[in-house]
Amino acid sequence: MSKEPSVWPPNQSPKITKTSSEDCHQACPYLLSKHVLGAGSFSHVFECKNKNTGSHYAAKQYTKKLVYGMESSLQSEFQILKQVSFGHKNILSLVDYFETEDHFYLVTDLALGNDLFERITTSSEGKLSSCETRDILGPLLSALAYLHSNQIIHRDIKAENVLFTSRSSKPSSLLLADFGLALLVKDGEHSHSQQGGTLSYMAPECLTGNSYSFPIDMWAVGVLTYFMLCGYMPFDCDTDKETTQLIKNGDFIFEPAEYWTDVPDSAKDFISQCFKVNPEDRITAAQALSHSFVLNTPLKRSPSSISMSQLQAAVWKLHSLQSLSSSTRIAHLSSGASGYSSFSSRLSLDESCGSSVASTNIHRLLGDRCYSPDTISHFCTPLMSSQVSPVSSQTNLHKPSKVEISRLSAASPESEKVSFII
């Protein structure tokens, strides 16, 4: 078993310590691109490549000196990621983790298809069609229902945190990401009052100082659905004060009318169900999976109760429409609970077996301390290619020819000449 790094020790208070060179016993098996995929207040995300397997991933790099005093937040993100990894195909999975003298690294799935915000804003009409929105809502709600069934509140559902593994429009390409604000509801707890999230997506109960729970994620889904269908946010105003007031009152309209002429009534009803000011009246993720808009069935005007058997049948119908790739699963565990996925979120990375990830376990660090990874200006593989790695069967890195180096150098600005460190 690998030695646990100091940021996530079992049954101890998190404490980050600078690793001495004597503690680094091995070379890092990952090669890091210098190209930043994303950045936060305390972290940067880079594309990386396992030198032994040739597989490409995303490496989230935390600088130790910047997260000093915030170790519990990092530890929480790690624990939640580890809990849900490989449990659901539409949730970003933690593949590996390790630390160096100055940094912590979380190695996750690589999303080559950018995020939902980019997909909406760069579309020809500045919005998505009802069909496209439905295709995104299905797997997103499935992933969210899975989190909630495992007592996890995401707390940061927004377009920027919905990623795609490729440019494909297939639902299987969607990944719900960024668990930096996620909360695990412990046994006996029913609500939280800790502030956090993005104002435009925050539910009324988060702004009034009241306690909140899983329904805040469904309010955010409503905001996201509204944004997908018309291209603008439902509550945003010139000032945060005005925006906050509209959210507290649940004050929204489907206007300008010309933006909504091609949107079905079922979609508007779905949004309205998400925007219930009273969280107890708000639709749940599991119920949303059976909504007429998500299932593309006629809207039922008369109110009626939904039996558990009907809910299970609807969820299974959606499940059967989406192909399940066994190669992306870690284990298929039987579960008696209803829901879209029967994969257990209690699956530990160290317990995984029977998959391509598990078969390359020898090339994973899983918490070990090592030297800083070598870096490369750019990978030869285009970042936006449809394949994660065209050389995944290779055991050694492809060394570029002089022609390739010259071509890449010529395409780079003078200040960013390509330099390969192998």
Would you say 252 and 280 are in contact if contact means Cβ atoms under 8 Å apart? no
CB 91 within 8 A of CB 172: no
CB atoms within 10 A of CB 310: 12
Angle (CA) 151-157-158 rounded to 5° is 175
* The CA-based dihedral angle spanning residues 28, 33, 38, 44, taken in that order and rounded to the nearest 10 degrees: 40
Half-sphere exposure of 249 (CA within 13 A, CB side): 11
3 is in an annotated binding site: no
Q: Which of 96, 115, 156, 368 is catalytic?
A: 156
With DSSP H G I counted as helix, E B as strand and the rest as coil, what are the percentages for the chain, rounded to 5? 35, 15, 50
Q: Establish whether 156 is a catalytic residue.
A: yes
**The two three-digit tokens of residue 259, written as one number:** 């933006």
The answer to whether 47 and 383 have CB atoms below 8 angstroms apart is yes
Helices (H) and strands (E) in the chain, counts: 12, 10
Q: How far apart are CA 225 and CA 230, in angstroms?
A: 9
* SS3 category, 308: helix
Residues that are catalytic: 156
Q: Which residues are annotated as a binding site for ATP?
A: 60
Q: Which residues are annotated as a binding site?
A: 60
